[in-house]
Amino acid sequence: MHIIDGKKIAKEIEGRVKTKARRKKIKIATLVYEKNEESMLFSKLKERAFERVGFEYETIYFDKLDETKLRKKIKKLNDDDDEITGINIQLPMPGIDYNKIIKEINVKKDIEGMHPFNIGSTLLGDEKLIPCTPKAILRIIEYEGIKLEGKNVVIINHSNIVGKPLAMLLLNRNATVAVCHVYTKNLKEYTKRADLLITATGVRGLIKDEHVKEGVIIIDAGIKKEGGRIYGDVDESAARMAKAITPVPGGVGPVTIASMLENALLAYEMQKSL
């Protein structure tokens, strides 16, 4: 069983981004709800990543969440063409309708690739600013040299930020794609036939040996915190049957941050090419 080294993949991506970003004035604004501990933690992780590749950044903290206030701030950042080249919203933002607020972001500054225009372009095969987790999964697949055409791929997740856009990216590459989730009645029947299984449920150890076939490749984007440790979706018994698997932590996570840096560079280039 080959353990896919997410940190190494991320490092290579970051290296390329850093080289290309030299002498470019890339500056990212991150909107954070300061009363959410997890948000604060993730925004710090992002800041460190921005520093590594030489981006400037500005983290804007909200102590109260108010859609009108958020909207106003986004408008200001959108219009600030000399300074801010990328905007991202650190989730969760309780009480805020993310689908509504994401539409307010300038399409070309949307480094999360979640604006409907960008998501729609992704579906249509005009892939530019792609959501970060699906993009990371694609980068891992490419890095590992996994051919997608005609492969049986099963995704366990049908969210807006992971499962749905990921399914589109895989269909764009002619994989056969089945999307499962909590309402799926016979999960095992799907997962057993997967050549490539991508899981992102946050249910620790959900995928056991009985769920997979020998030689499957597994990408585990699940995250579950328990007792100060982080666990993925895949049980050791399933991992043993895999030809290759991403670990948790150190798999999809670091590549997701690297993918956001890639998006930030692309967003800059899209703005400057006009």
Catalytic residues: 39, 46, 90
Amino acid at residue number 266: L
- Contact by Cβ (8 Å): 87, 114: no
134 binds a copy of itself (CB under 8 A): no
Q: Are 135 and 166 contacting, i.e. CB atoms less than 8 angstroms apart?
A: no
Span of 173-181, 205-213, 221-229, 237-245 interacting with a copy of itself by CB under 8 A: 173-181
Counting contacts by CB under 8 A, is residue 160 touching a copy of itself? yes
Residue 65 has which token pair?
A: 């969440």
Q: Determine which helix (DSSP H) or strand (DSSP E) holds 88, and give its type and residue range.
A: strand 86-89
Site pattern 83..122 for a copy of itself (x: CB under 8 A):
----------------x---------------xxxxxxxx
Residues with Cβ < 8 Å from 153, sequence gap 6 or more?
A: 170, 175, 176, 177, 178, 194, 195, 196, 197, 198
Identify which range of 28-36, 38-46, 56-64, 168-176 contacts a copy of itself by CB under 8 A. 168-176
| Residue 11 vs 181, nearer CB to a copy of itself | 181
Give start and end residues of each alpha helix (H) in 80-197. Answer: 98-102, 116-123, 132-143, 163-172, 187-191
What minimum distance in Å lies between the beta carbon of 274 and a copy of itself?
15
Q: Is 274 in the site for a copy of itself (CB under 8 A)?
A: no
Angle between helices 163-172 and 116-123 (to 10 degrees): 40
Q: How far is the CB of 183 from a copy of itself (least distance, A)?
A: 4
Residues found near a copy of itself in the complex (CB under 8 A): 99, 115-126, 149-150, 152, 158, 160, 163-165, 167-168, 171, 174-181, 183-186, 189-190, 193
